[in-house]
Amino acid sequence: MLEHTAEQQAAVSPECFQQQPDCCSYVGRFAPSPTGPLHFGSLLTAVASYCDAKANQGKWLVRIEDTDIPRIYPNSETHILSCIDAFQFEPDAEIIFQKDRLDIYEQVLEQLKQSQDIYACQCTRKMLGSNHIYAGTCRNLNLDFANQAIRLKVADQLICFQDRLQGQQCSNLQNELGDFVLKRRDGIISYQLAVVVDDYLQGITHVVRGADLLDNTARQIWLGSLLNYPALSYMHLPLAMNDQGQKLSKQNLAQALDISQAPELLHQAILALGQASVELDQPRIMLQQAVQQWDVNLIPQGIHLTGTYL
C-alpha cells in the first residue's frame, strides 16, 4: 500500500464533508460527462442518486467529468447546468469541473510512480490490434514517462463487491483486462483516475450510477486500494432502453432533455424508477415528495421506455 509523505498527503487531502466526518455518513454525487446533452437516462441517474442521498439524510454533490477535453460537446456543460437548475436539484456544495483539477491528478500519478504502481507504455492501438487484454508488454521496460501512456499494474487476484441492486460482482483484472491506462499518450487523464481521486477528495461514500459503468468498478476499487482510499458503496441502476431495445445514450442520439418540460419529465423519471407517483408541481416539491417515498426495493430490473419526452 502507498504511504503518503506529509507533503503528499496535504496535496490530496479530502475536501468538503470528508474533513468533517460527523457531518453525515452518506455523501453521494451526480457526475455527468459533457460529451453530449443530458438525456432521460441521465435524469434517471440524477433522480436516483439525489433521492437515495436525501432519503438517507445525506449530502448530494454534482461533478462535471470533463477530462476528455477533445470529446466535450459544444454547449453541453451549459445544458447540464441548465438542467440542474430547471429540475431544481440543490447540490450541497459548489459544482466542480475536472478539467480544473488536472494538477491534482498529476500529483496522484507522481505518488503512484514513487510507489512503482505505474509504468510508461509505448504500445499503440495498432500494435495492440484486437487484443482486449493487455499482456504487460512494457511493464518491465522502464521507459521514460515523457510522452508515453501510463498504465497501472494489476494483480492476479479476485476483486469482489456487493452491489446494492446487482448483487455480488467479482472480477480478476489481470485475466479480464490487464494493466490499464491512467493517462493517455496525448496527455488526457483517464476517467478511471479522475473519478477515484475526486470521489475521495469530495468525501463520497455512496455511488449511484448506470449499469453501463458496472465493469469499471473493479478497476476503481483496485486503484483506490493502492491509494489507501476508503471503500465505497455502489448501486448500479438498470439501463433505460428505448422502443428499439437500445440503451438511451448519446451515441444512440437520445433526445436531449427539454427543460421546458421539467415537471413532466421528472414525474416520468420517478415512475420509471418504480417509485410511487408524486403530484405534478414545481420540481423542488416533487423531489421532496419522491425523497419521502423513496424505496430502493421498488427499482425494476429493467427500464423500458416509451413516451412523448423520450
- Say if CB 216 and CB 192 are below 8 A apart: yes
- Say if CB 150 and CB 182 are below 8 A apart: yes
Least confident of 9-23, 132-146, 226-240: 9-23
Statement: residue 217 has pLDDT above 60: yes
Residue 70 lies in a domain: yes
Query: In the numeric block, which cell numbers belong to residue 14?
Result: 479530502
Of the chain, the end-to-end C-alpha distance in Å amounts to: 47
Provide the domain count of the chain.
Answer: 1
Q: Mean of the pLDDT values across residues 41-64?
A: 97
Residue 209 lies in a domain: yes
Statement: residue 163 has pLDDT above 70: yes
Look at the pTM and tell me if it is higher than 0.85.
yes
Residue 52 lies in a domain: yes
Sequence-ordered strand ranges (E) for the chain: 27-30, 59-64, 96-97, 118-121, 149-152, 158-163, 167-172, 180-183, 206-210, 233-237, 240-241, 303-304
Residue 10 lies in a domain: no
Residues 172, 212: Cα–Cα separation, whole Å? 18
Q: Binding site, residues?
A: 29-33, 65, 121, 123, 134, 138, 191, 209, 250
Q: Mean of the pLDDT values across residues 216-242?
A: 95
Average pLDDT, the chain: 89
Q: Mean of the pLDDT values across residues 226-251?
A: 82
Ramachandran angles phi, psi of 136, nearest 5°: 75, 30
The whole domain housing 206 covers 27-298
Q: Binding site for L-glutamate, residues?
A: 29-33, 65, 191, 209
C-alpha pair distances (Å), 119 with each of 57, 131, 230: 42, 20, 24
Q: Mean of the pLDDT values across residues 241-253?
A: 62
Statement: residue 306 has pLDDT above 70: no
Statement: residue 230 has pLDDT above 70: yes
Residue 199 lies in a domain: yes
Residues 167, 294: Cα–Cα separation, whole Å? 20
Q: Binding site for ATP, residues?
A: 250
- pLDDT band, residue 246 (cuts 50/70/90): low
Residue 20 lies in a domain: no
User: If you compute the radius of gyration of the chain from its CA atoms, what whole number of angstroms results?
Assistant: 20
Q: How confident is the model over 164-184, as pLDDT tens digits? A: 999 999 999 999 999 999 999
HSE-up of residue 223 (Cα within 13 Å, Cβ side): 29
Query: In the numeric block, which cell numbers belong to residue 123?
Result: 504500445
Contacts of 48 (CB under 8 A, 6+ apart): 208, 235, 237, 273, 299
Q: How confident is the model over 9-32, as pLDDT tens digits? A: 434 655 543 333 345 599 999 999
Sequence-ordered strand ranges (E) for 202-272: 206-210, 233-237, 240-241
Bigger pLDDT: 9 vs 117: 117
Contacts of 308 (CB under 8 A, 6+ apart): none
**CATH code of the domain containing 175:** 3.40.50.620
Residue 119 lies in a domain: yes
Question: Residue 263 is which amino acid?
Answer: P
Q: Binding site for Zn(2+), residues?
A: 121, 123, 134, 138
Contacts of 149 (CB under 8 A, 6+ apart): 120, 121, 122, 123, 181, 183, 184, 185
Residues 185, 127: Cα–Cα separation, whole Å? 14
Statement: residue 2 has pLDDT above 70: no
Residues 14, 100: Cα–Cα separation, whole Å? 16
Query: In the numeric block, which cell numbers belong to residue 188?
Result: 488526457
Query: In the numeric block, which cell numbers belong to residue 110?
Result: 507522481
Residue 308 lies in a domain: no
Statement: residue 255 has pLDDT above 90: no
Q: Mean of the pLDDT values across residues 211-227?
A: 97
Q: What is the pLDDT of residue 6?
A: 36
